[in-house]
Structure 1
Amino acid sequence: MKFSPITIFNRGILFCILLVLPAITFVRAQVAINKPALGFTQLCANPDFNTFEINFSFSPAGSLDSSNKFVIEMSDPSGNFVTPIVLNFTEKTAVSTPTSRTLIFSVPTTTGGENYKLRVKTTAPAAVSPVSNSFAAYYKIQDSQFSINNFKATATYCTGGSYLLTIDNPGTGTNDSPLKYPSLTYKWFKEPSLSPIANTPTLTVTSPGRYYVETNYGTCTSDSYSNRVTVGESSGLSATITSSKGNLFCAADGPTTLSTQAANSYQWFKNSTLIVGATSQQYQATDEGQYSVKVDYGGCSSTAVIQIDTVRFNSSLNVDSSTTINEGESKSILVTTDAVSPTFNWYLNNNIIASAVSNTLIVTDKGLYSVIITQSTACASTKKLDFEIKFSSDPNVTLIPNLISPNNDGVNDTWILPQQYGNGTNTQITILNSRGEVALQTTNYQNNWPENEIDFSSINPIYYYVITTQDNKIKKGSITVVK
């Protein structure tokens, strides 16, 4: 069979089209995200303000699948994305275009550094933008003035010794000590220099001068700074304190002996309060606290400080000190504790409940209850927790469950709310975990939380709920998860 040149040419074009079509399809399935632009020069957040904008463009238009999700990732403080932080955000839909987006995000409370970067991802199709310009970012969790040296404006140390300046915790009055917030760092200054000389919670002073400390918020403006203390030098010796049982001791095993060097006279203090009659070289400390001694060497005095803590355990209940139930209703009371091999004794109106020996008690009667938790190993000690159960005088009162056991046994597997707060009532239900993160937020609650398994080993997780009705009535409480 003979083919004309035109026929051969047309078949060649068809063959080329068949080769090119898949390539065209492949290209259309890609998306390119441009470098994101920042809506700020530096990011200075605080509890009252934590919203910032990032905008970016992408191409081509229509390249994103309907199932696509945007993701904002923040680097570590040095700009590294080895373990990026995924940020919560909302989309500013009013300014969205087929090829651009503006996202409003917030940063974690632990944010602090000078060289953060951001990048944007898409999920369908998967793509990653170039990283943004670097920027300083700080969450100013504490941004008010605080005290050092218990607001004492002067201090003295002996020649060859030192004086310890300490941030007060908690301090006096309304003082909001930054030591309450473990993520913070500090910058100490010796006037008139503006260059920091240390970055620790305390400063050992070995030269006379005027000192103060600021919370380190980098290039962000900080209102978190201390009073000034003028430290002088005098001739003499430097006092120290030793504890016979170390800085951590078990009070049940007896006191620890605090000792300082031999001198002319002594005066001991606890938490900056003078201990009447404590004027010897040694002092028997029976409980925890910050102990100090002012030592007079004759012509020169020196003060030493030591923090003594006792071994202890923590315990709490999943109910308030006063809880109301309907007559004929039961309430599950749970003790959460970190005691070593604890034992439990429950009481009703000061009478022991012989059968109650676990960390859970189902109560049906009103009265004054208590539980005594005993730790007999490690450091023997006990702790008593009290609560009261009352009967409601209103039979129509609705009670909200404070305990669930999602173990698929058909009993208390989910958090079941009274009907007046459920689907169709336009009631907003918010559930937060112990870190304050939102685990659920809905205005159409289906009595189905938790939908997924909550994994835990020994410590029973506690969640917190906020119920806001359509007429803005609010109920708050906790939910304990048990196995």
Structure 2
Amino acid sequence: MQKTTNLNRLLCVLCLIAVSITAQLNAQIVIGAPNLGFSQACASSTFNSYSATFVFSPASALGDTNQFIIEMSNEEGDFTDPTIVFTSQPNVFTTSPATINFSLPSTTSGEAYKIRVKSTAPAATSSRSAAFAAYYKIQDSPFSINNLVETGAFCSGGSYLLTIDNPGSGENDSPLNYPSLTYNWFKETGPTTSVFVAEGNTLNVTQEGTYFVKTNYGTCTSSSFSNRVSISEAVSGEASASITSSLGSPFCPDQGMTTLSTISGLGYQWFKDGVAIPDAIEQTYQTDASGLFAVQVDLGSCQASGAIDLVSESFEGSLNVSEVNEIEEGESLEVTVSTTAQNPTYVWYFNDTLIPGATSDTYTASAFGAYSVLVSQSAGCVATNTFPFEITEAMDPFPEVANIPNLISPNGDGINDTWVIPLQYVDGTDTEVMIMDNRGKIVLQTKAYLNNWPEDQLDLNSINQVYYYILTTPDNKTKKGSITLVK
């Protein structure tokens, strides 16, 4: 009797296990094809969120550990090696329908992507969604080709190579910095129309026309496109070569040098105001000057030339006084600066120290020392220029001296350089001054002596030279003596 009871219990346990296994085998769900919440996905760093809605049944069949997964195909709709773009947390989506948001990988690029939904408990897979275009716009700003030169030319029977600039000038964000990108070249057919020409990083042009390139983002609109370049054929042996200035024209020299660029060729020679610039033989030339700049480009079997009237918005100015000025103690000098600057402002300095309140175009200076005026152009191109000058004490040509000197050193050091005699013998006293060399040759004879002999540097040898003087007053009194000139 005991054996029968135990056997019955074993049979009951086996039945329960069988029922449980059968229930698990029969627990399955059906997931419908996902409906897209978008017509195409054009993602970027500022937007990358897309939704899909799907239904599943029965909801009661979902296990507590279930996760929903969204897989994305390759650009041709193939799921051989799908990309997981979303995985939910366990037991989050428990009612149907469910809407899930997901993001695109940065390598997404194609016109026929599809997605599907999978569950994990129980395991099930939906059918595929409708195909959609999807691109991640990793670069989405205008970029430059041909160094922003608007034209190009090729010799008859030849070609012209257009390239995407890398890195380009200024803040150009070259798409070549992103290796995954591809490009489509176009030729304009009208003011707003164009035709596809070729794919690739470069374009070899053999027909005249206006060309540009766009990053290949398919049907997604994008700002990743280049400037236009007009290409011509030199049928007469001479073509046009346009020149562009990186800072424009006019430009502000305070921004630095502007770069002049021309079309590509085999050789170059730049000119300024009709004169060839030495060693200016590259495709670009830098300058901060105004002038008529031209270039001659060797295209092989023909030539191209172009010119640009470059204007630097630097201003000119001048002072009404010399660089070095002499005044006597107690005198003053009125200094005025003239300038072509727009809305100029003025700041004056004395010995590199700001002069308070000196802010007009005129300043009256009376102290001996170094001065300067800083002129700033506050309208248009902001620029500054400094104009220096100096005031020194004037030498008195007729100082008070008691005796007639017999020794001078005309070496240009400003000390004892000329023969200075007492006031009763100089200009205005009608005294005749005669100076002779040691051979008796008269080197100076005047009744208006200005204390300025010798005015010119004498040819002094290593031996001190001796001269002789005779001073004859109006009443015929004389003074005689010698003058020794030392080095």
From the CA coordinates, give the structure whose radius of gyration is larger.
2
Query: Which bracket does the TM-score occupy, shorter chain normalised?
Result: 0.3 to 0.5
* TM-score normalised to structure 2 length: 0.45
* TM-score normalised to structure 1 length: 0.45
